[in-house]
Amino acid sequence: MNPRTYDILYRPARIAPPPRRTPVMLLAAGLWLLAWVLISLPVALAGLTVVWGMAEGVPMTGFLLWCVGGASAGAAVLVAVRLAPAVRRMRADARSLLLAALACLVSLVLAAVTWLSAV
């Protein structure tokens, strides 16, 4: 066997350095966290409204359909932007930052509309 091939196959494994965390990735992670916090408000508010409405005997199907439709529309916007050719050519950290900023906007709009329709 060639000594070089033997060395490649049987030498001790090299430990790869951990991936670098760029400021763009840290900002994207912060924006994703903010988006999840913002989306938790409409989910909790819709859940409480549905529970209280059903306890009083009020039909809540319209409100539930509106909540599911709004969340589905927001998810469809994110998927459509993610699959756009210009976004697919972006670097991974820039693409994550763009989608995180868009997710923040979508969840902020859903939170505001849910708050105004439920209160």
Q: Is the pLDDT of residue 105 over 70?
A: yes
Structural domain that includes position 65: 20-118
pLDDT tens digits for range 60-96 = 788 788 888 888 898 999 999 999 999 999 998 899 9
Domain count, the chain: 1
Tell me which residue of 49, 30, 36, 54 sits closest to 110, measured CA to CA: 36
pTM of the model: 0.72
Q: Is residue 60 in some structural domain?
A: yes
Q: Is residue 39 in some structural domain?
A: yes
pLDDT tens digits for range 15-59 = 777 777 788 999 999 999 999 998 888 888 888 888 888 888 888
Contacts of 15 (CB under 8 A, 6+ apart): none
Instruction: Give the pLDDT score at 65.
Output: 82
